[in-house]
A and B are shown apart, each in its own frame.
Chain A
Amino acid sequence: MSNIFTDTFAWLADPQQWSGSSGIAVRLAEHLQYTALVMLIASAIAVPIGLYVGHTGRGRVAVVAVAGALRALPTLGLLTLFVLLAGIGLMPPVWALVILTVPPLLAGTYAGVSSVDRNVVDAARAMGMTELQVLFRAEVPNGLQVMSGGFRTGILQVIATVSVVAYINLGGLGRYLFDGLVLSDFPQMLGGSLLIAGLAIAVDLILALFQRLFLSPGASAKPDRSQPAAVDLTDPVTAEAVVQGGTS
């Protein structure tokens, strides 16, 4: 078995694998581009709705129910369904990914806004802020820690799912897994897998660092131990677990 590791290492270290149109650099860039595209579309849908629901409290039950139900949808099934119905190309898988990414972002944004101490919100309102000012000057800054948690897990989920997209003839680092599988080229598969795992861990660490450097630690919501033990989507930790629950 030991030569698998040396073969994989040789594959990863080979400069030829890194350059060219199907080189690691290009695949990595593709992977990040798909991820950015999906996150952009999903955020454009999820953030406004999340802010609205979090601020007004309207539609709370619906958001929790939809997020829960979508969590059970198998990623691979949705991807294949979209490709069969809409054809090969960039957008069908991207829309499938957007559908899978909106719920965690929505839950995260909503949980962030509603995690803010009601006294703070009431105080902001009492000071004469308009509803929009209450939202953007009190609720969003105070809920940012929880929100960024939701985004972190959302991005990780997309990075994970984008590796599956290679199965339907798109690029990204997942290509190495499926090309390797067809050729029974195990070092290539293992090398690709290590790259994907490394990318996910690196992105998570960078986001964690970003969160620590740029967000006020005072705004982090501390779990309230006096609450009864029921777990629901409004709890940031659970929301995160729920968010994570659908990665592939």
Chain B
Amino acid sequence: MGWFLANSGHVFDLAGQHLVLAILPMVFGLLISIPLAQFARQNSTLRSVVVTATSLLYTIPSLALFIILPSILATRILDPLNVVVALTIYAVALLVRAALDAFDSVDDDLRQAAVAMGYKPAARFVQIDLPLSLPVLFAGLRVVSVSNISLVSVAALLGIGNLGMLFTSGLQRDFVTEVVVGIIAILVLAVVMDAVLVLLERLLTPWSRASTKPAGGASA
């Protein structure tokens, strides 16, 4: 506890970098997955191609991907961009599936009612499909959030700044407290991010509170 208080500035600094490296891929992942899922929904061949391709990318271990990406992106190995791109790839792999399930979960009668009411395809997507698929999308986002926050720490092995640095320096200095502080800080970040996502979902889907059965994700 004493070590944490003495170094709280350093820990908060790392936590900030950690959070940026975890959140950016979520945002990019969402921006890529939604159109990709819409595109893949056109027919079952496209669908299985997209799901297979993204899950194949997902099998590549992150440490390896952090090192392979610089040679493809022409970045330096210490560039945080590698981490953002790698985690975006993982986020897309998870979110495309979630988005496909999410769009499937929208009742087709509602779509047809919207068409009958004169909604144009784009307006129907933004005002009907997207809001109604939010619960499933958010469940996917929560999975991505937890896994990203845990994965970012691996990048510390290559010297990219984040809370994982507490593990590497703790190991070098044989200092357990630092490692424990790192684990707790990452768990706190994960819990806080999860709570923020739950709150955001509640704000964005006010109708789900009115129904007797909560529609939100049940996965913790």
Contact = CB atoms under 8 A, between A and B. Distances in A.
Interface of A: 1, 4-5, 8, 64-65, 68-69, 71-81, 83-85, 156, 159-161, 163-164, 167-168, 174, 177-178, 181, 186, 189-190, 192-194, 196-197, 200-201, 204, 223, 225, 228-233, 237-238, 241-242, 244-248
Interface residues of B, number: 64
B217 interface: yes
Contacts of B215: 228-230
Contacts of B64: 163, 177, 192-194, 196-197, 200
B153 interface: yes
A229 B154 contact: no
A177 B167 contact: no
Nearest to B184: A77
A5 to B, nearest CB: 7
Nearest to B61: A160
Contacts of B56: 201, 204
B59 A201 contact: yes
Interface stretch (B35-43, B118-126, B168-176): B168-176
A230 B61 contact: no
A148 to B, nearest CB: 15
Contacts of A192: 64, 67
Contacts of A196: 61, 63-64
B71 A68 contact: no
Contacts of B214: 230
**Interface core residue of A68, A85, A156, A230 (most chain B CB under 10 Å):** A230
A69 B220 contact: yes
Contact of A80 (B68, B171, B191): B171
Contacts of B133: 229
30 contacts: A64-B219, A65-B220, A68-B219, A71-B147, A72-B146, A72-B149, A72-B186, A72-B187, A74-B153, A74-B183, A75-B153, A76-B157, A76-B167, A77-B182, A84-B171, A159-B61, A174-B63, A189-B67, A190-B68, A193-B63, A193-B64, A196-B63, A197-B68, A200-B61, A200-B64, A230-B214, A232-B218, A232-B219, A238-B139, A241-B140
Contacts of A76: 153-154, 156-157, 164, 167-168
Contacts of B186: 72-74, 77
Contacts of B183: 73-74, 77-78, 81
Contact of A230 (B139, B156, B158, B191): B139
B157 to A, nearest CB: 6
B105 A229 contact: yes
A228 B77 contact: no
Contacts of B190: 72
A242 B219 contact: yes
Contact of B171 (A83, A156, A238, A248): A83
B158 A181 contact: yes
| Residue in A79, A81, A229, A247 whose Cβ sees the most chain B Cβ within 10 Å | A229
Contact of B59 (A69, A74, A177, A200): A200
Contacts of B97: 237, 241
A228 B71 CA distance: 44
A160 B179 contact: no
Contacts of B94: 241, 244-245
Contacts of A241: 94, 97-98, 140, 143
A39 B152 CA distance: 24
Contacts of B174: 84
The residue among A69, A189, A246 with the most chain B CB atoms within 10 A of its own CB is: A189
A160 B62 contact: yes
B173 to A, nearest CB: 10
B216 interface: yes
A40 to B, nearest CB: 21
Contacts of A223: 101
A228 B212 CA distance: 13
Contacts of B99: none
A238 B135 contact: no
B151 interface: yes
